[in-house]
Structure 1
């Protein structure tokens, strides 16, 4: 673990001594070439645990999220080749590698307090990306929303970590002999622990910071935020749910209906959006609500569906945000009302836009579809009344996906948009690198079981 961390840190040295082009090329190739090494060295059975020392251990779920972090980080740098021409090129690559290092340590630690430290440290790189490379002056407001929401919600978690340590005298998340303090306020204490992760997901009603952050973030920030950072919240809920399953029985009765109702409301909001980036940001909130519902079931079927959905949504949402950035660079706008007739102008791009929208709406036989079916089937035993909200959520999810595609691809091209830029060929490579893992996992479902 220490050797691997030092190897990643050594990248910072090469980034600043190499010329601009070579530093970007070297970093991107290093991250991509590391992926098969991770896959070969970390192919462990689902029930096994690899311990590096008393503070760092990984199992199958954390291994999958580390691989997702590595892959999205590589694509994030590859997709930001336009920053190559800027003076802040080395700074951007350093922040990207710092982001991956924080995510790697977050998913590989078994200590709850260390996880909390890296959980909060992940704010620093994404805050820097929004503030330095954001598009508009409103990025200051978006950054403040991000910081205030997450830090204020994390303070109760920090207090509860010290409180629980007093009872258990350890914070190892893979030791299942934890004692939760029983009192009249037990449910309140449990909510205080969860609220930091519910804001990070984000859960419906705590989601106001996410659309603002996405709209103002550069393409790299949106890709890593939707692809991996949101999964830190769901990973935290998963780890705590495994330790205190008996506490979930009381809270899930309230939170699961709120998640499904919120998912339906967010899907309706998606139908009212005109900014493509804001629309995909709201769609991430809807998917995270379904993911949270599966986590709170405290069933192995729901947890497995939640892990699959994390991987599927991470790749799909990252691809969609990247494709929206391509459209923005071509049309100089993200408005659905102004982008028309792309099916005629960019037929190959229109094809990939359709494919990624199909994955986003969880069409069979995608892993997105499998994960949602697993989560919904784990929710039915709780209450058959939830079927109403499950069906409406799936219906409106398909509705806004068709709305995105038909509004942007069909129709007549607006003649007054004269400065349309062509789509470079390298863009399709990045899109395909998002698609191939989704295709591979469709035929290799044993990776999850």
Structure 2
């Protein structure tokens, strides 16, 4: 694995690194695809510390896909000559950390790469961010993540002292500190709940998204949020009974938070902030599906990770393209795009339809699986799920109608044409969402 990652490190040294890196990032696709199409778990064991199963290989492919597209979307950094080589280096470093995190078969190694991914995204926000508040956003991101991850590190040491190993390949795990009435599990998964993020632990996400460049927003929503769900699912496979201890109060909190953030979306005026809050709502129903500890819940969670990664990244790409054309992210100042750029409106329609789980997208399958698994716990949760489904459609339609329709400003006639790379980028984001529904078992049947 390391020998195959070395070419990624040398990409910034090449004269044409911008285009070569976005092409050669696919060199790990054959390895991930072999593991993805193999029906047996942990068949691709590269070493005692590095292995891939069907779940990790799906997320590695998503990482490679989003990484190449975020470089393609950041062509303005190259044209403005704002440290393009350093930008490529940070993107490659972040991709490598994410790939190593998803392919780690040792818990302490997983933790190291899990936390290492924080460094490149911080540098991306601080160096290429848009607003003066990017320092505050970076501080929020760092403090929330580190505050929750340090107790997790202590718990990992206690797990090692109890089991004498930290390998995911071995199934014999004993719970540490049985006298703490299972509160050790909450300490262990707290870092994952912050990374998702769960409602009440989410304040860092809208700030990070608003201040980050388009590449940072795409990789943050597309892959980095999936680190929390991946870690929670990986630990839930080891300690299969622990989620039932806390699902009775975490699941209602997550679904209630999804409803609240959906209401917040209805009152947002900033495009990127609205998309960021919608991600929190999607992560709420995903967390409820994982805590159900059912096969449908975990399959739906895996499907939602892929679907949300592609659709939310596409929405941030469209928001950035709209910002580059109109020089504003305000929903109330961005009007009448359907008159000026009907092709851009088409991509907005497809992306918002996927975001609200319209058929035939993979988002619809994932929500059906997650809603069914959540209702298997108690039918009272149907109240939250009904309101959440309605509000998701409401703010998605509000986002589309408020930006695409209405009277255009007089200055809009001087807007530049769309860049040709935008159409390629949008196609590579949204076409897989509707192709995966033809063979969903590729990403669903990972158990």
TM range (shorter): over 0.9
Matched residue, 2:6: 6
- Residue 194 of structure 2 is matched in structure 1 by 199
- Give the whole-Å Cα distance in 1 for the aligned partners of 2:269 and 2:152: 37
Partner Cα distance (1:266, 1:391) in 2: 15
1:447 to 424, 430, 442: 442
Matched, 1:120 2:115: yes
Which residue number corresponds to residue 420 of structure 1? 415
For 1:362, the equivalent position in structure 2 comes to 357
State the shift of 1:50 in Å.
Answer: 1.9
**2:289 touches 2:373 (CA, 8 Å); kept in 1?**
yes
Conserved? CA contact 2:265–2:278, under 8 Å: yes
Please state how far the C-alpha of 1:42 moved relative to its aligned partner: 4.8
Aligned twin of 1:156: 151
Q: Matched residue of 2:417: which SS?
A: coil
Contact 1:331/1:421 (<8 A) preserved: no
Which residue in 2 is equivalent to 1:43?
37
1:382 aligned residue: 377
1:385 counterpart SS class? helix
1:285 maps to which of 243, 268, 280: 280
Deviation string 1:218-247 (CA, Å, 9 cap, x unpaired) is 000000000000000000100111111211
Measured after TM superposition, the shift of residue 182 of structure 1 is 5.0
Give the stretch that moved more between structures: 36-45 or 382-391. 36-45
1:53: how far off?
1.2
Q: Report what 2:339 is aligned to.
A: 344
1:261-288 C-alpha deviation (Å, 9 max, x unpaired): 1111110000000001000000001111
Contact 2:360–2:434, Cα closer than 8 Å, also in 1:
no
Retained in 1: the 8 A contact 2:36–2:442?
Answer: no
In the TM superposition, 1:168-247 aligns within 5 A as 168-181=163-176, 183-247=178-242
Instruction: Give the 5 Å matches for 1:83-102.
Output: 83-85=77-79, 86-102=81-97
CA distance in 2, matches of 1:301, 1:33: 32
Q: Quick check: 1:15 aligned with 2:9? A: no
* Residue 436 (str. 1) matches residue 431 (str. 2): yes
| Count of aligned residue pairs for this structure pair | 443
1:60 aligns with 2:57: no
For residue 41 of structure 1, report the CA deviation from its aligned partner.
6.4
CA RMSD of aligned residues (A): 1.4
Using the TM superposition, give the Cα deviation of residue 362 of structure 1 relative to its aligned residue in structure 2, in angstroms: 0.6
Measured in 1, the distance between the counterparts of 2:103 and 2:35 equals 14
Which position in structure 2 is the counterpart of 1:332? 327
Q: Which structure 2 segments of 5+ residues have no match?
A: none
- Scaled by the length of structure 1, the TM-score of the pair is 0.96
- Return the alpha-carbon distance in structure 1 between the equivalents of residues 334 and 276 of structure 2: 19
Measure, in 2, the Cα distance between the counterparts of 1:377 and 1:46.
26
Note if contact 1:331-1:419 (Cα within 8 Å) is conserved in structure 2. Answer: no
Tell me if structure 2 keeps the 8 A contact 1:80–1:220.
yes
1:248 corresponds in structure 2 to: 243
CA distance in 2, matches of 1:393, 1:176: 37
Unpaired runs of at least 5, structure 1: none
- How far 1:435 sits from its partner (Å)? 1.4
- 8 Å contact from structure 2 (residues 240, 293) kept in 1: yes
> Structure 2: how far apart are the matches of 1:418 and 1:359?
30
- Where 1:245 maps in the other structure, the secondary structure is coil
Offset from partner CA, 1:402-444 (integer Å, 9 cap, x none): 0001101111112255653321122111000101211220112
**Partner residue, 2:392:** 397
SS, match of residue 416 in structure 2: coil
SS in 2 for 1:413: coil
- In 1, the alpha carbon distance for the partners of 2:53 and 2:27 equals 22
